[in-house]
A and B are shown apart, each in its own frame.
Chain A
């Protein structure tokens, strides 16, 4: 079990301001839950662009290499057949399979990497048990401060006070919640 601090806000602008204040106070493990994407929030929270494209690119390259290797080996080495005097290993006809395998491997890698990277499939998250959390998909904006965690109750109280004082002017409801371990 660990403790987190949660701020609930009622507009995207205030959520961005709140996130900015929390980051300015030095908290680093900050997450936001919003009903729709807010581009500014990504900048404030320091969300980097995904590195997924590089992975997909190299998966595509290996798909192409694999297809070339398999076709060259079957057509020119393992079971060569003379078809009207054409070269045993013919690059133009190989290209179709090369293309298919490139796309297949790239797409499967992208699919799998997005699932793993987003920690899916996950049927339940302890956050869902927090009262009112379902409104983050309707009209509420939640900011979760993860590194307020400390075993020491005094430290946590202090952080709660600090954030409450900082965010109260934005109309935030700041609470403390206890989550089961296992959530980043």
Chain B
């Protein structure tokens, strides 16, 4: 049974999430369409974060990285929150016609958009859409559960077979998650703005989620290490997390920039519409904030070696990057329907994020502080290598 500060670590975000959920309900009563848009943005944000963590864990397994084993509990828990997100898809599934133009085309659509909707009507048929969504969610849930089980099996018995099991599962899962994530991004987010297409959109959502996942992992690793739930981590392990975060910052910027550059060079009305809607009104300020807050600031700060090696700095920067990531998803979703950013949009974000955090914290704590038996731990060569890890 979980007690003391650990219990608080689950209950506080749970309470926060439920309170924000109540506010979201109120928001939905006043303006259901607007609330659902914000909910989709929040949902995509947390889901991309969980899937970013899942892809990261899989890559670490497949490449045979060892340093992260001292933080594995946190990493696997972050990836393991995916099943919970199936639940949060229900409001979206129940009210497609409210926000998706292809489900109920508004009468005043431009000719170009109208043609695009007609062209895509087979693919975006509500029933086909829901069947695909179900397939994505089932795939991710299965992979998350399998990954968590494989991890628990290895933690209790660190044998070569159990290591191979994690590795095989990850190698098989990587392309599956990559494709389902790409298609889900096309279906759930890109189809909000029919007539606008970008080949790199799926990768954009992935890189954004990866950055947000690393930010969450930095916060969670710091919290877990303060509560003694990690396994002998040092500044070198945090240094590795910091380096990965810098990589993710650069990767997201690279993808976001090239999407903009290609649209800029082609200068076609259908493509420019995406950036046009996002450079009006309050979104103009968000553009500037995203460039400065999600690229310039973290990039310059993370260049420093000593800052990357400081767990508390990484956690603080992680908090900032989580907010910026949420803003990026709001930027991606909400203007698609021509809406402005509102303060009430924060409610669904806090709700989904806090509930997912509470579930992740539960996963971290539920395993308790019981490590493998000493004999097994001595046999675990991977763990020994992880403890000895020194960053260059």
Contacts and interface: CB of A to CB of B under 8 A. Distances in A.
Interface of A: 49, 53, 57, 84, 86, 90, 92-93, 95-96
Contacts of A95: 257, 261
Contacts of A90: 264
Interface of B: 257, 260-261, 264-265, 267, 303, 305
A90 B264 CA distance: 10
Contacts of A84: 267
A93 B265 contact: yes
Contacts of A49: 305
A53 B308 CA distance: 15
B267 A92 contact: no
B257 A93 contact: no
A180 B122 CA distance: 85
A90 B265 CA distance: 10
10 contacts: A49-B305, A53-B305, A57-B303, A84-B267, A86-B267, A92-B257, A92-B261, A92-B264, A93-B264, A95-B257
Contacts of A57: 303
| Secondary structure class of chain A's binding surface, majority of residues | helix
B176 to A, nearest CB: 34
Contacts of B261: 92-93, 95-96
Nearest to B264: A92
Nearest to A95: B257
Contacts of B303: 53, 57
> Top 5 closest A-B pairs, CB basis?
A92-B264, A92-B261, A92-B260, A84-B267, A95-B257
A84 B264 CA distance: 11
Nearest to B390: A39
A67 B356 CA distance: 45
A57 B303 CA distance: 9
Given A90-B264, A93-B261, 14 more contacts: A49-B305, A53-B303, A53-B305, A57-B303, A84-B267, A92-B257, A92-B260, A92-B261, A92-B264, A93-B264, A93-B265, A95-B257, A95-B261, A96-B261
A19 B162 CA distance: 46
A95 B264 CA distance: 12
A69 B358 CA distance: 51
A49 B306 CA distance: 11
A86 B261 CA distance: 13
A26 B261 CA distance: 61
B389 to A, nearest CB: 14
Contacts of B264: 90, 92-93
